[in-house]
């Protein structure tokens, strides 16, 4: 489709501006205060109703929340960087993200579209040759970087809303457009899904930029191979003692955690398919001459099926408990997030392929590709399917100059306009296929 009512060149330029602003001010899961306020402001300009704050969340399903000190620091930072403190104050406590509905003039289905908005815990490269650094929009925030393309996803969502608002007279049914917080770590979808909001969706679309090293203009209509995953922390409790005078009177939590790390990485892989485990962070101890009484690990397991992921998780727990016992320590685990697998609906994939063939800027269509990782959107997708709707997760192609979650990652900004046209076209045409 082409959208003659829209000056696409001007739209893409403005969406690029928004993407770069978001890239410069990244916010991690449950702290996307400024990001959400910016999105709301853009949607308000279109006259759209926006729901946000506690009303769109189920608090007991808000997994992997940051500590109070981090949350407060991020909240204050957002207030200082935003011109919408009125909005940010209503999100305090991590109630980030927002949902809008675009009501069409024609009868038709309910279409769900989801984009994610959080960044990664990565320090961005500050060196020549990295475009965000060279052009002045590199991250201003320590240990925060849009290293997965969610800044582009957010801009795509805003662009989708602008296009659909210009074509409301041709829009069948309504579109529920979701700007999801906390995708990294698989933390945010459960809270939004538990409200029951997506149960009414007849069709549901997600998309991710990059992932595969594809040309700009290539779109993958569906994905498979989503890895089920569980995220959890392990906290070892030992006994502090003088490291020189009385080491035998202590129980070394770092030693226990170290043994656990080595042995979790040695867990036998499952014969039934892909399995993964990663220990992403390790913190512990209080001083050089003190037997450490506490150590903490951030762990994730993955499996191509729920059964395989369960095997990895249970094996990891067994190793953790054994390592703690070896050193006279105890260990507790704290659940932080999870996602399962999903199978895209072939009927909707057929429709998606047909619609993509008419989208301006899309010159190659691949029916399906291996996603190769976990994705929080699967929680929403499964919920839609359980209530009779159809789902697919697309990949918007672009070449990768660096891997996702890498300090040199960057987005080919041409995908922003393509992504917005893709989502808008699907919403306008899916009921006519």
Place of tokens 């009385």: 246
245 token code pair: 């005078």
pLDDT the model gives residue 115: 98
Across 304-404, the runs of DSSP E, i.e. the strands, are 330-339, 364-366, 369-370, 390-398
- For the segment 139-175, what is each residue's pLDDT rounded down to a tens digit? 999 999 999 999 999 999 999 999 999 999 999 999 9
pLDDT the model gives residue 88: 98
pLDDT the model gives residue 2: 83
Q: Report the distance separating Cα 231 and Cα 240, nearest Å.
A: 28
- For the segment 63-108, what is each residue's pLDDT rounded down to a tens digit? 999 999 999 999 999 999 999 999 999 999 999 999 999 999 999 9
Q: Where, residue-wise, is CATH 3.40.630.10 in the chain?
A: 8-226+341-432
- For the segment 160-214, what is each residue's pLDDT rounded down to a tens digit? 999 999 999 999 999 999 999 999 989 999 999 999 999 999 999 999 999 999 9
Q: Report the distance separating Cα 404 and Cα 401, nearest Å.
A: 9
Q: Is the pLDDT of residue 366 over 90?
A: yes
247 token code pair: 């080491």
What does the radius of gyration of the chain's CA atoms come to, in whole angstroms? 23
Give the closest residue to 237 by CA, choosing from 290, 280, 284.
284
**For the domain bounded by 8-226+341-432, which CATH number is listed?**
3.40.630.10
Which CATH number, 3.30.70.360, 2.60.40.10, 3.30.450.20, 3.30.590.10, labels domain 228-338? 3.30.70.360
DSSP of 76-131, one letter per residue?
Answer: HHHHHH-S-HHHHGGGTTT---EEEEEE-SEEEEEEEEEEE---BS-PPP-STT-H
Give the closest residue to 144 by CA, choosing from 41, 52, 213, 66.
66
Compute the half-sphere exposure of residue 291: CA atoms within 13 Å on the CB side of its CA. Answer: 22
Of the pLDDT bands very low, low, confident and very high (cuts 50, 70, 90), residue 374 is confident
Give the closest residue to 390 by CA, choosing from 430, 427, 424, 345.
345
Q: Where, residue-wise, is CATH 3.30.70.360 in the chain?
A: 228-338
């Amino acid at each position: 489709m082409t959208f003659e009512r829209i000056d696409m060149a001007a739209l893409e330029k403005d969406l690029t501006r928004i993407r770069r602003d978001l890239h410069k001010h990244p916010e991690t899961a449950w702290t996307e205060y400024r990001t959400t306020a910016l999105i709301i402001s853009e949607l308000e300009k279109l006259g759209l109703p926006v729901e946000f704050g506690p009303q769109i969340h189920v608090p007991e399903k808000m997994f992997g929340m940051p500590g109070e000190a981090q949350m407060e620091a991020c909240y204050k930072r957002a207030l200082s960087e935003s011109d919408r403190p009125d909005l940010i104050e209503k999100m305090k406590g991590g109630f980030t993200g927002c949902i809008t509905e675009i009501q069409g003039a024609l009868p038709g289905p309910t279409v769900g579209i989801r984009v994610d908005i959080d960044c990664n815990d990565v320090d961005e490269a500050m060196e020549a040759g990295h475009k965000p650094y060279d052009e002045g929009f590199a991250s201003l925030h320590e240990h925060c970087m849009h290293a997965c393309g969610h800044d582009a996803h957010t801009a795509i969502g805003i662009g989708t809303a602008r296009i659909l608002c210009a074509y409301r007279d041709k829009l069948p049914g309504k579109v529920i457009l979701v700007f999801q917080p906390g995708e990294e770590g698989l933390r945010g979808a459960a809270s939004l899904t538990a409200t029951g909001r997506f149960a009414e969706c007849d069709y549901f679309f997600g998309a991710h930029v990059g992932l595969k090293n594809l040309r700009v203009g290539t779109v993958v209509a569906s994905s498979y191979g989503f890895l089920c995953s569980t995220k959890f922390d392990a906290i070892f409790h030992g006994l502090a003692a003088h490291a020189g005078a009385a080491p035998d009177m202590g129980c070394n939590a770092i030693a226990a955690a170290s043994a656990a790390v080595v042995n979790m990485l040695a867990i036998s892989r499952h014969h039934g398919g892909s399995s993964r485990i990663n220990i992403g962070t390790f913190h512990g101890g209080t001083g050089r001459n003190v037997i450490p009484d506490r150590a903490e690990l951030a762990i994730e397991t993955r499996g191509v099926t729920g059964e395989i992921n369960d095997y990895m998780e249970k094996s990891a727990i067994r190793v953790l408990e054994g390592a703690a016992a070896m050193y006279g320590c105890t260990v507790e685990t704290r659940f932080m997030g999870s996602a399962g697998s999903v199978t895209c609906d072939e009927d909707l994939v057929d429709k998606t392929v047909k619609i993509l063939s008419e989208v301006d800027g899309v010159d190659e269509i691949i029916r399906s590709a291996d996603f190769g990782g976990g994705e929080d959107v699967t929680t929403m997708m499964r919920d839609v399917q359980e209530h009779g709707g159809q789902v697919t997760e697309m990949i918007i192609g672009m070449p990768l100059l660096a891997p996702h979650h890498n300090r040199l990652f960057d987005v080919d900004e041409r995908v922003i306009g393509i992504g917005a046209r893709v989502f808008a076209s699907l919403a306008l045409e899916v009921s006519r296929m």
